[in-house]
Structure 1
Amino acid sequence: MNMAREKAFDGLSEFLAVAKRLSVRKAALDLEVTPGAISQALQKLERRLGAPLFYRTTRRISLTETGETLLAKIAPAAQLIETSLGETLRSSNEPSGTLKLIVERLALPHVIEPILPAFREAWPDVKVDITVSNTHGDFIAEGYDAGILIGSYIAKEMIAVRLSPPFKWAVFGSPDYFRENGRPRVPGDLTKHQCVRFRRPEKGDIYRWEFLEDGQNVRIEPNGPLTVNDGELMRKVASQGLGLIYSSTFHASRELATGQLEPVLLDYSPGSDGLFLYFTKTKQNQPKLRALIDTCSLLRRSSST
């Protein structure tokens, strides 16, 4: 017998409720409908199947053989559907599934390594898939839930949550380099110095150093014999006294703390920046993402006290 698809499940919830209770009145209470609505739904179902499902008397109701057969076939499926709906409801309200992140390498020691143990302890049912890359161009196409990147590189349409204290961009060199070559006092002095050029992996071009001088944005293409495309190598080269680099007080925090590098031209910094967790509006209400944001916030507060 062919049934219209939209009618395939009509009457089944009423049938299951009556089969469970063996009472139209009690089934109606369970489903919060009238007994008349229950009876009408059962009659339509019996007409579709071409056979009675219940024996009815004034005092008693029981399943027919057809009813018993139907119940045996659909009761397990109904239980599975109910369980699945419950799990889906819980997953829509509680963190679960896989949290897919793309993070720039700078975020590993400053963000990922500190928060990952706390996040895993708080949300053991959430899997975490991390891609380390400074190129985030395929963020949406690759299906990432969120990314971690320097704020100035994040697309304007994204929602961003600060993860680090503000930091400044500046020029850095080793104490040995400054003793031998002196310190630039203004951006224009850089033409007299050896600079380590940085080729941006995401674009392939040489990064032009940015400054704010007399209220004007100034961009200088550095001149020097060394070109690299890795920030850690760039800082290592500068620590060895082989030239000046353009970086941030956050990127170079380890070298600044150990005295391997010293900043210059801080007064000409184009402004403060920071590391941010970013995501699209369609992702912002995901429980697993909210859990990550809350974990980051807790650790930031604890580290600042």
Structure 2
Amino acid sequence: MGRQNPFDGLAEFLAVASRNSVRKAALDLEVTPGAVSQALQKLERRLGTPLFHRTTRRISLTEAGEALLAEVGPAAQAIEASLDQASGSANEPSGTLKLIVERLAVPFVIEPLLPEFSAAWPKVKVDITVSNRHHDFVAAGYDAGIIIGPYIAQDMIAVRLSPHFHWAVFGSPDYFHKHGRPMIPADLAKHNCIRFRRPEKGDIYRWEFLENGQNVSIEPTGPVTVNDGELMQRLAARGQGLIYSSTYHASHRVAAGQLEPVLLDYSPGTDGLYLYFTKAAQAQPKLRVFIDACSELRRSSMD
């Protein structure tokens, strides 16, 4: 036989004690008067004492009922207040927002967004892992990630954060003045290329092109190899060699006249940065406000 629930009948007891009426208590509890009377009778049998004086016209507490109300009433109010507080916390953005972000997103999304976001939602702590490897997204407990579109799993919800961008080769005006411009991907064999070693995999990133309808992949050659995209661009801007990057990542240096794109006609297609998350995670208030902040950042950047 199952253990008796110690709270059985207490809600009915408190309601009747508050309203001095079984009928009014039943209306408050949205049950029938018979259900209230039955619950009270079971409680009284369990306690072995009557809790109410009953007449055809009125109902009032017995001495035992008054003693029980004095003990249970404040506790019930404390429980109700705790539940209200918990409900409020559930709807208020708080806790730790755990993110894994593509390195490309750091200067374009995280740096401009984070100060205002933290100021607006001080109860939300942000834990950011910068990485291009997102394969353990769910297992690692991340709430959301930011990555280049084609790498997002199909069961994720994705929100675009950047304009569509292309992949191209970039060099400084000084480099092109001294060494000329490659006209086709095969020309790269005659140029100094700054090679990029992917930090998470340790391999050399191959430069991808679309030539005569065919995908072409070239492993660049050159005396310098780095594993940091920002360093790669800085070296290229100083004329060290050519790099392979996105028009989005290089946009600031292109606008400043430090880098120029070539081989755009051979770009393999368009990409974009996306915020992604599971359908279940979307319900979290801390993630909802971050999604809103990212969307606002994108709107302002597109104006």
- Name the TM-score, length of structure 1 as normaliser: 0.89
Alpha-carbon distance change, 6 to 240 in structure 1, aligned in 2, over 3 angstroms: farther
CA distance in 1, matches of 2:279, 2:4: 34
**Which blocks of at least 5 consecutive residues in structure 2 are unaligned?**
none
User: What does residue 217 of structure 1 align with?
Assistant: 215
Counterpart for residue 157 of structure 2:
159
Q: Does 1:279 align with 2:289?
A: no
Structure 1 stretches lacking a partner, 5+ long: none
Aligned positions of 1:1-305 closer than 5 A:
4-5=2-3, 7-120=5-118, 122-305=120-303
Counterparts of 2:119 and 2:228, CA distance in 1: 33
Would the alpha carbon gap of residues 232 and 255 (structure 1) be closer, same or farther in structure 2, given more than 3 Å must change?
Answer: same
- Cα deviation for residue 83 of structure 1 reads 3.0
Over residues 116-165 of structure 1, what are the superposed CA-to-partner deviations in whole Å (9 max), with x where a residue is unaligned?
Answer: 34434554444433333333333212211111112233333322110011
1 CA distance for matches of 2:137 and 2:276?
A: 10
Alpha-carbon distance, 1:16 to partner: 1.2
Q: How big is the shift at 1:184?
A: 0.8
Question: Could you list the runs of 4 or more consecutive aligned residues of structure 1 that deviate by over 6 angstroms after TM superposition?
Answer: none
Of residues 292-301 and 92-101 in structure 1, the stretch that sits farther from structure 2 once superposed is: 92-101
Which is further off, 154-163 or 284-293? 284-293
Q: Following the alignment from structure 2 to structure 1, what is the Cα–Cα distance between the partners of residues 241 and 152?
A: 29
2:236 is aligned with what amino acid?
Answer: A
Partner SS state of residue 274, structure 2: strand
Amino acid in the other structure paired with 1:259: G
- Deviation at 1:247? 0.6
- Count of matched residue positions in the alignment of Structure 1 and Structure 2: 303
CA–CA distance in structure 2, aligned partners of residues 93 and 240 of structure 1: 51
Superposed displacement of residue 115, structure 1:
2.7
Deviation sequence 1:53-105 (CA, Å, 0-9, x none): 22333444333343334333333443343234334444555544332222233
Q: Percent identity?
A: 75
Distance change in 2, residues 1:199/1:5 (3 Å): farther
Offset at 1:39?
0.8
Distance, in Å, in 2 between the alignment partners of 1:112 and 1:80 is 42
TM-score by length of 2: 0.90
CA distance in 2, matches of 1:243, 1:299: 33
In structure 2, relative to structure 1, the CA distance for the partners of 1:242 and 1:9 (3 Å cut) is: same
**Structure 1 residues 39 and 133 mapped into 2: Cα distance closer, same or farther (>3 Å)?**
same
Q: Distance in 2 between matches of 1:63 and 1:169?
A: 80
More displaced stretch, 31-40 vs 96-105? 96-105
> More deviation in 206-215 or 79-88?
79-88
Aligned partner of residue 246 in structure 1, secondary structure:
strand
Q: CA RMSD in A?
A: 2.3
**Structure 2 CA distance for aligned equivalents of residues 86 and 214 of structure 1:** 65
1:178 match: secondary structure: helix
Letter in 2 for 1:191: A
